[in-house]
Structure 1
Amino acid sequence: MIMLALLTKFLAREAELVVISAKGQALETVPRPKGRLLVFPGSFDPLHEGHTKLAEAALDATKQRDAEEPSLLYEISLKNADKGVIDVKQAEERLLQFKKANAAVALTRRALYVEKSQLFGPCDFVMGADTASRVLDAKYYGGVEGLAEALDTLRSRGCGFVVAGRLGEQSFVDAHEALASAPDSHRDMFLEIPDFRVDISSTELRERARSRK
């Protein structure tokens, strides 16, 4: 009932986000752990082993860097810079996956990382190399100066990135390759996860599911 009430507030734009904890509690604020907060944005259509393995690898890499236990929060945005708007029914279906996986997830309307940082505050965003390439693509910021300004804003809010290799449309892209275009002045914001690879595609999984119907 509490979850339904918060979802109703969110859909009526009376709440900025809804967080469903790993225990199934519905919150309208982001839990602040003692260790570093990792936020893993995605469409998660569906949530699969590639996502969960990346989450585990990001937690391990961050723990090694900081020498303290981090926590992870998945995030689904109703808006996506590349994929457009996710409708409410889709969002509800995807939220149920995290309950089964015993994982925490947030539902927001923030498409860009600068926008997300306003909600989540100090955190590291977890992503594959393909997403990192888009984060560093100046076209999303109106040019190179806009990209630098966005990264400056993220840094001022205590945000960074944890990046792993990812199977792209054509071939596998490792984190180091994806981050080659990162400005030297902001390279320290990106933590690479070396030797990570899980070749699972959400698109392929959806196509398999459709073929079985």
Structure 2
Amino acid sequence: CSFLFHFYSSIIFLLIMHYAKEILSCIVLTFIFYLYVSSMTAIIYRKVRCSYLSLGQSLMPGGHVNNFLISVFCRKLFDDCHPSVSKKHYFFSYIGENILKYHNKDQFKLIQNTFKGASLAKKIDACELLFFPICHCKHWFLFVVDLQNCQFVFMDSLFLKKSRYQVVVSEMLVGNFKHLWKEIVDSEYSFDNFRIVYPAMPRQGNG
């Protein structure tokens, strides 16, 4: 038995060595093809792109929604009902994330340019709702500034209002947003009557 084991093991080893170059070439070609296809554009909507890799990672079971896919949705919502009619603005996720982590001049310039650009469609201080999808610590939530009803709305399917996550996030977001609004949009605007709201919503079970 020992002899047969070594005999067959030797044959298998020789076969592997013989075909190693072909196997390696196949693996390399497969990997190159994967990289090529992954980087290809799966969705392009009004100059907003989402690759096959981003789309696959967003929709696969247990996957994580990619910011590029969120950007496509934001652009689609913009086109479905123009801000001049809807009185709503949907901002790409990196804007809300920069408001959350705001601390330098580059971020200020980015947010300033974004607010000014959005105002070309509809002045943001004349809107009723401003939507900021945000991914923080690999978790998505929605920050909504309800100018009509004087509310800062946090829509989070995982973390509750009193969770450590939302306590930190809400304090940073609201504080930074107020500061940036006064610096960029309206220095006389008062947020004194605004309240923070966490509406009831379905809970996710994979936290």
TM category, shorter? 0.3 to 0.5
Q: Which has the higher contact order (CA 8 A, sep 6+)?
A: 1
Where is the helix percentage greater, Structure 1 or Structure 2?
Answer: 2
Find the structure with the greater CA-based Rg: 2
Q: How high is the TM-score relative to the length of structure 1?
A: 0.33
Q: How high is the TM-score relative to the length of structure 2?
A: 0.34
